[in-house]
Structure 1
Amino acid sequence: MAVDEPATAVVALPGGGFRAVAGRTVLDVPPSSASPTASPSPSSASPSSASPSASPDAKRWSLPGVGSALAVPPSGDWTAVALPATGDVIILSPTGAVTRTIPTGVRPTALAADTSRIAVVDASESSLTVFDAATGARQEALRAGDGAVTVASGGGGRFVVMDARDGELLVFDSGPLILRQRHPVAGTPYGIAYDPTRRTVWVTVTQRNEVAGYDISGGTPREVARHAAVRLPVAVSVDPSSGALAVAGSAEGLVQRIVP
């Protein structure tokens, strides 16, 4: 499907469907309309075509500022959206209303959420900061490589960060926050998402217009899959029930569905 502005982040919803942020808009796509008009096969070498407009079933929520990222907890009860210009993370209700504002003290450019916490990446400082989702209290902070750009909840109290500058996948344990794994990813990696069912981290590779999957269940991440994607893929999300991926391409403002 097409969006009015380039999509910068997309997440899969626990009950199916996807949610994406594009400029001052959050696009909420229910399961019935989450697929584009065509999608690539697992072995396809070219990206899919997509519908020129959003499905009439999709909802658009307006934001008080330009959003850079969003995150949804496993319960799906709320959505966190990063507003870099104000340094805030806002919490949205299931209908898109702002219910809480968390002043982060940093410039939030990427987000992840688990059951009770929000992880915030500040790309300008290459830092990872963890906040209590219910109270907004700051918990822990740590430098994350030299060029942290995106983060995902990796299950079991972990957060996975992509360091685009050094081309590395960084896996942090929390409580205390500590770096446990790091793995090189060639081709200017950027977007990241975690599939808890298959214990796989998906990474967008912007120079190659691909998404690559890494198994992080062992001591060292191991590549297990790679697929062609839309041009300049900057964000990816995965439906843990089916393994289907949603990939946001910044070159043409498309959200693509891939079934591995």
Structure 2
Amino acid sequence: MRRVAVVAAVAAVLLTGCSSTGGGDELQVVEDPVAAVAATSPSPQREPAGTVLAQRGEVTAMATAGRTLAVALAEPPSVLLYDLDAPRAKAVSVPLPSAVEELTAHGDEVLATLPRSGEVARIAVPSGTVRTVPVRGRPAGVAVGEDGRLLVAVRDRKAVEVLEGGRVTKTITSDLYSADDVLTTGGRAVVLDRLRTAVFDVDVEQGTVNEGLRAGMGATNAVVDSFGRVLVADTRGGGLLAFSTDPLLLRQRYPVAGGIYGIAYDARRHLAWVTLTGRNEVVGFDVRGGEPTEKYRLPTVRQPNSVTVDEQTSRVVIGSAAGEGIQVITP
């Protein structure tokens, strides 16, 4: 009861929106904020769990769509499409104009943000047919609303673009420092601002960015769960945060040591999988209760920045940002 009370009190204090009564920014951590990044991994001390597929390239993002695993490589800029039923078979390589920052699965396609070339790539799976949609600025994250419209977080323009039919129909911006990711759940939209280490409610229909809440000391990655919440990795503060979206409210903060960074969600078993780059580990938390409960802790490849879950089998797939392969675990 004490933990719940403390979380509720903290959330009440933080639910102040973007306003400030003292002339400062209540959500700003320091005067010149710097976005948190993944902790550098040490040399592995244990063999990675499961199976490791050789891949020398730096993996920047991963996603699963149907029976296809999509793996983004920094060099050459591309996405590899693997058959999840035959992961050792040769992957389909999809060349892209620039490196991918984020991959998002939607139906029979994977959406890839390409910040350097100012585009969102729509990659059909498993064929690999690709078409690109231009976005002014540096798109960092993308989500699909219930109505099928694309929401694109544009980092440098501090905005969320609403795309319909391949064109921008609305630009939503406010007091964001950066727009690094956007997530949708239950008809709500939330944008992640890494510089302010905060999450903000976005009203897509009204075209406004509303209240914001501090998301730890250095939020990096986020995912939605089956309960309409946004789960956030607080890399700098060492915690797994859970926010409700209607209203936007901090519900849980659970300490996670070891450099929490990558995050994925298994809807079948209600497990949040997080990578610990400071320890070369991946941890699975059951998030159905009043606080996360650790169910799995497994060794990984070095620099496990990316993680995804096969929604049909609950297999966990981890990508090394140090060129040490793609790891497949059946927990």
TM-score band w.r.t. shorter chain: 0.7 to 0.9
Contact 2:55 2:323 (C-alpha < 8 Å) held by counterparts: no
2:229 to 145, 149, 158: 158
**CA shift for structure 1 position 111:** 5.8
Describe the shift of the 1:115–1:177 C-alpha distance in structure 2 as closer, same or farther (beyond 3 A). Answer: closer
User: How high is the sequence identity, in percent, across the aligned residues?
Assistant: 31
Quote the residue 2:197 is aligned against: 126
1:212 corresponds to 2:283: yes
Quote the residue 1:41 is aligned against: none
Quote the residue 2:105 is aligned against: 72
Whole-Å separation in 2 of the counterparts to 1:7 and 1:162 = 19
Amino acid across the alignment from 1:222? T
Whole-Å separation in 2 of the counterparts to 1:26 and 1:131 = 30
Quote the residue 2:63 is aligned against: 11
Describe the shift of the 1:20–1:142 C-alpha distance in structure 2 as closer, same or farther (beyond 3 A). Answer: farther
Whole-Å separation in 1 of the counterparts to 2:245 and 2:69 = 27
Whole-Å separation in 1 of the counterparts to 2:309 and 2:298 = 14
Contact 2:57 2:322 (C-alpha < 8 Å) held by counterparts: no
Describe the shift of the 1:103–1:147 C-alpha distance in structure 2 as closer, same or farther (beyond 3 A). Answer: closer
Whole-Å separation in 2 of the counterparts to 1:127 and 1:121 = 6
Whole-Å separation in 2 of the counterparts to 1:235 and 1:184 = 20
Describe the shift of the 1:91–1:112 C-alpha distance in structure 2 as closer, same or farther (beyond 3 A). Answer: farther
Describe the shift of the 1:148–1:97 C-alpha distance in structure 2 as closer, same or farther (beyond 3 A). Answer: same
TM (norm. structure 2) is: 0.62
1:15-56 Cα shifts (integer Å, max 9, x gaps) = 2221122223222222244x35xxxxxxxxxxxxxxxxxx43
Structure of greater Rg: 2
State the aligned residue count.
Answer: 235
Describe the shift of the 1:191–1:97 C-alpha distance in structure 2 as closer, same or farther (beyond 3 A). Answer: same
**CA shift for structure 1 position 119:** 5.2
**CA shift for structure 1 position 124:** 2.8
TM (norm. structure 1) is: 0.77
Whole-Å separation in 1 of the counterparts to 2:110 and 2:185 = 11
Whole-Å separation in 2 of the counterparts to 1:252 and 1:210 = 16
Quote the residue 1:195 is aligned against: 266
- Structure 2, unpaired ranges of 5+: 1-52, 136-151, 159-177
**CA shift for structure 1 position 244:** 0.5
Quote the residue 2:81 is aligned against: 28
Please state whether the residue corresponding to 2:58 is helix, strand or coil: coil
Whole-Å separation in 1 of the counterparts to 2:231 and 2:55 = 27
Whole-Å separation in 2 of the counterparts to 1:111 and 1:227 = 29
1:187-244 Cα shifts (integer Å, max 9, x gaps) = 1111010001100100111122111011110111111111111111111111122111
